[in-house]
Amino acid sequence: MRRHRNVKIVATLGPASSSKEMIRALHEAGADVFRLNMSHGSHEDVAARHRFIREVEAELGSPIGILADLQGPKLRVGVFGGEGAFDLEEGQPFRLDLDPAPGDAKRVQLPHKEIFDALRPGASLLVNDGKIRLKVQDCGPDHANCTVTVGGTISNRKGVNVPDVVLPLAALSEKDRKDLEFVCELGVDWLALSFVQRAADVEEARKLAKGRAAILSKIEKPAAVDAFDGILAVSDGIMVARGDLGVELPVQAVPPIQKRLIRKCRAAAKPVIVATQMLESMVESPVPTRAEVSDVAHAIYEGSDAIMLSAESASGRYPIEAVRTMEAVAGSVETDPTYVQIIEASRTVSRKTVADGIVAAAREIAEATDVKAIACFSESGTTALLVARERPRVPIIALTSLESTARRLCLTWGTNCAIVAPVDRFKKAVLAAIHVAVEQGFAAETDRIVVTAGVPFNTPGSTNILRVAPCQERLVYEGEPE
């Protein structure tokens, strides 16, 4: 299904969107990638949703990406006595410890020894998405005596964030390891890794994935922001997960961080998703707020590869309307002349390799002439990523013989993926590109397209040839070109 926009839409599946009919409707409304949230639902639920996506993909003949989002370690307080909740007041002392006895207004269990090993006096702990804030006065290997700096009601098993220290915790819990193996065997295209603090967390996940899925790192902790360059270098993609990031950092710090991370991802030719509460009001309302529309538009103006719906499509009352809203906002932004100016002004010049020069030349030719599209042959997806980094004004057609590559590229800005038969000569590549361009409406037989490829074929990173091809060269096809 050809999209008349460049930014991609990721929709999370859940109770409101688990049927095959709803998944098809969401894809037809504009969803390019579906997110399977491993924090909710059984493996049977996940397998059913995966099967429905692949059935819709086969019926529509349209590659669809699947992103499995691993839960990551969850840090929570223990349980309380009485009615299970107590009010904490600003300035009062409060103790966290390893004692499993029910908590009260003075203390509660924090069953994570690793946190106590890392805490230092002056560190902050945030409870219940930051609604309660504690400051550590003194601590030891089994306790932390704190002062309440922001009061509120604390109750059973509320989440805890520790923004000031790098915790000696692996990004993958035992549950995550089981989930990772399950979804990789199932055949997902992307793995989203939660609780990333350092590059080593990503490398561990990559070893376990064994090439079966691309690794996308979620940036949701201050430590990940500080170590971002190293994390980006070993990741295949990035998610700016603004939920926990907005809890652990001052909220006003998140927008500039988002902008900075998007630009770094683009310079590295790696896809980046902006996520969390983009159209939050549409969980209950059929229309978004003006602020939410501006938030979505801002992410598109910045050049993000994809924008994501979470609860809006997973459990909200209006999942299809939420996707259509994102589609409409994208259409409005990308036809704005200011959008083109911003995207081109933020382009990073990279001429380190022959491939860099080829894709830059393809973009310049397309913008200086009446070329209708840039077609690139890419078995690994690398060439398509490099072309997308250039953010050309014409459509990108990514041609590959591998379903896995086409599905992963569904997350990449501006790419229209087509699965074609393997080719061994550049002439065949040109003819196949012309066929796809004409058949899918990117060009007419009187138009021209730019074709890039690497010779010899099937060698990752070998892009070394470019041709401006008249579509009149198109042959009469009996299947694939001869």
Please, which residues bridge with residue 218 across strands? 239
* Radius of gyration of the chain measured on its C-alpha atoms: 24
d(CA 321, CA 281): 12
> Token pair of 138, please?
């003194």
Note the pLDDT tens digit of each residue in 431-471.
999 999 999 999 999 999 999 988 877 776 678 899 999 99
d(CA 401, CA 284): 42
d(CA 130, CA 112): 18
Residues with active-site annotation:
35, 76, 218, 276
| CATH architecture type of domain 354-473 | 3-Layer(aba) Sandwich (3.40)
Classify residue 396 as left (phi > 0), alpha (psi -120 to 50) or beta.
beta
d(CA 158, CA 96): 13
What percent of the chain stands above pLDDT 70?
97
* pLDDT value of residue 479: 46
| CATH architecture type of domain 85-161 | Beta Barrel (2.40)
* CA angle in degrees (0–180, nearest 5) for 60-471-425: 85
d(CA 86, CA 211): 48
How many CB atoms are closer than 10 A to CB 472? Answer: 11
Q: Where exactly are the structural domains of the chain?
A: 8-73+171-336, 85-161, 354-473
How crowded is the C-beta side of 122, counted as CA atoms within 13 Å? 1
Q: What is the pTM of this model?
A: 0.93
End-to-end Cα spacing for the chain: 26
d(CA 137, CA 96): 11
pLDDT above 50: residue 482? no
Q: What is the mean pLDDT of residues 271-290?
A: 97
The H-assigned helical ranges of 281-353 are 290-301, 311-314, 319-334, 337-345
d(CA 398, CA 384): 6
Cβ proximity of 213 and 67 under 8 Å: no
d(CA 473, CA 482): 13
Note the pLDDT tens digit of each residue in 93-102.
999 999 999 9
Q: Can you name the CATH fold of 8-73+171-336?
A: TIM Barrel (3.20.20)
- Between strands 93-97 and 107-109, the pairing is parallel
Note the pLDDT tens digit of each residue in 411-439.
999 999 999 999 888 888 999 999 999 99
Cβ proximity of 331 and 297 under 8 Å: no
pLDDT above 80: residue 303? yes
Note the pLDDT tens digit of each residue in 26-39.
999 999 999 999 99
Note the pLDDT tens digit of each residue in 229-254.
999 999 999 999 998 899 999 999 99
Note the pLDDT tens digit of each residue in 119-178.
999 999 999 989 999 999 999 999 999 999 999 999 999 999 999 889 998 899 999 999
* pLDDT value of residue 461: 65
